[in-house]
């Protein structure tokens, strides 16, 4: 996958997100375009990792006085539509308002010495605190954390929304390890004057990750639980008070096409439903019916029909080809196709959950509630993230110390 980091800056993932007048003005000056009302996310990693915004209107002006509008305008009135992109060349069409910093992004930066973020990485490599550590493992872990935060700090100056920071997947099954990682990252952000309200920490939705999210949220630290592939994970994450819960629609569909034996997926297929869309719908209804405060993000959305089926969910990460098609499709008031909010508090109120589904989820019930799809997809995601982190640390070991140290 190619990166275009030399272009104007930005990056990946989820939330707060109405831009303030000052931040919008800054973006206009810094990036050279008008920051419209459409406030998307720009993804810089290879998978949808970014975090959302709050305004749900589109910056693509339509001819309201003639009654014409685009499909993008129409759908953006129901959900926050988030561009899924790995390059910086789409800023003018989709100005970023939030970002994610990840191991994947660091690899991209290190592969392009002239990127504007390279200085942030070089500063981490030359950091005196890391330099003084004798243990190589601790040294390169220190440099990795400093690089994440330095880049995250640069991104915080470029986007008005929140910056999400990936938490090391190698501690995904260690609640205290996750919390320590987050506290360490938060301390580093504090040292460069990035306030906690501008931050979100991306944690895999293992039981230990969900428990870490609960404890961190109780401290006022915002978390984003990712790799959610089952209702059990979504419900447990909502009960934990996670700020954002991310479900990958297309990945569940892909699994169902090539595997069988997952009860949750088989039940959806028997009802004639797509398993990914069904999970987002059920999670949305659970959150709204029982008054949880979590925001729900639908990722790995593959086409316009997926998007139409999810209208009303908080955030939808959509490919640029889908957004471009929506932008170019003009609608009129008398169009036969009407855009309908499929997910709403009213639809949630009418949804019937079983007694077993509304129980207090714990480690044992989560383990039994996750079918083979969730277990396999979660394991694959963790392996990929851990491999990326290891590759970055190995790269830092090869290039350390930098010439000026």
Q: Report how far residue 294's alpha carbon sits from residue 300's, in angstroms, rounded to the nearest whole number.
A: 19
| Structure-token pair, residue 87 | 């390059």
Show the CA angle centred on residue 335, arms to residues 332 and 338, nearest 5°.
110
Residue 309, C-beta contacts closer than 8 angstroms, at least 6 positions apart? 274, 277, 342
Contact 252/227 with Cβ under 8 angstroms? no
For every residue of 216-274, DSSP letters joined together read: HHHTT--EEEEEE-SHHHHHHHHHHT-SEEEEEHHHHHHHHHH----HHHHHHHHTT--
Residues 142, 320: Cα–Cα separation, whole Å: 36
Cα–Cα distance, 11 to 85 (Å, whole number) = 9
- In whole angstroms, what is the distance from residue 164 CA to residue 160 CA? 13
Closest CA to 300 of 348, 251, 344: 251
Q: Treating both helix axes as pointing N-terminal to C-terminal, what angle do 118-125 and 136-158 enclose, rounded to 10 degrees? A: 150
User: What does the DSSP assignment read for 160-180?
Assistant: SS-EEEEPPGGGTT-HHHHHH
Alpha-carbon distance values, 112 to 1, 117, 143, 175 (Å): 14, 9, 18, 35
Find all residues with CB under 8 Å of 338, minimum gap 6, and list them: none
Catalytic option among 181, 202, 282, 342? 202
Instruction: Give the integer Cα–Cα distance in Å for 36 and 28.
Output: 9
Q: Is 390 a catalytic residue?
A: no
The residues annotated as belonging to the active site are 202
């Amino acid at each position: 996958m190619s990166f275009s980091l030399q272009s104007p800056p930005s990056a990946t993932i989820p939330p707060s997100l109405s831009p303030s007048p000052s931040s919008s003005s800054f973006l206009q000056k810094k990036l050279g375009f008008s920051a419209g009302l459409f406030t998307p996310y720009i993804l810089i990693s290879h998978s949808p990792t970014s975090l959302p915004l709050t305004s749900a209107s589109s910056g693509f002006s339509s001819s309201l006085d003639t009654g014409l509008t685009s499909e993008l305008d129409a759908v953006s009135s129901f959900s926050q539509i988030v561009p899924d992109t790995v390059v910086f060349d789409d800023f003018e069409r989709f100005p970023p308002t939030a970002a994610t910093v990840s191991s994947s992004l660091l690899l991209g930066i290190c592969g392009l010495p002239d990127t504007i973020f390279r200085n942030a990485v070089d500063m981490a490599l030359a950091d005196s605190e890391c330099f003084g550590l004798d243990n190589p493992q601790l040294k390169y872990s220190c440099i990795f954390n400093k690089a994440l935060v330095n880049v995250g700090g640069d991104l915080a100056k470029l986007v008005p929304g929140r910056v999400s920071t990936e938490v090391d997947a190698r501690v995904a099954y260690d609640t205290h390890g996750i919390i320590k990682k987050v506290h360490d990252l938060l301390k580093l952000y504090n040292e460069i004057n990035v306030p906690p309200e501008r931050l979100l920490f991306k944690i895999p939705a293992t039981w230990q990750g969900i428990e870490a999210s609960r404890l961190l949220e109780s401290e006022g630290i915002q978390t984003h639980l990712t790799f959610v592939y089952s209702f059990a994970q979504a419900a447990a994450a909502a009960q934990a008070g996670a700020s954002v819960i991310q479900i990958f629609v297309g990945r569940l569909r892909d699994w169902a096409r090539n595997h069988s034996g997952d009860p949750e997926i088989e039940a959806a297929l028997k009802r004639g439903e797509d398993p990914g869309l069904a999970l987002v719908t059920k999670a949305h209804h659970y959150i709204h019916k029982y008054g949880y405060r979590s925001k729900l993000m639908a990722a790995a959305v593959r086409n316009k029909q997926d998007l139409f089926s999810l209208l009303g969910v908080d955030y939808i990460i959509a490919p640029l080809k889908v957004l471009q098609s929506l932008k170019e499709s003009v609608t009129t008031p008398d169009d036969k196709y009407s855009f309908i909010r499929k997910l709403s508090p009213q639809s949630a109120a009418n949804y019937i959950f079983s007694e077993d589904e509304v129980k207090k989820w714990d480690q044992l019930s989560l383990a039994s509630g996750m079918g083979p799809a969730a277990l396999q997809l979660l394991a694959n995601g963790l392996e990929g993230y851990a491999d990326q982190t290891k590759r970055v640390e190995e790269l830092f070991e090869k290039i350390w110390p930098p010439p000026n140290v």
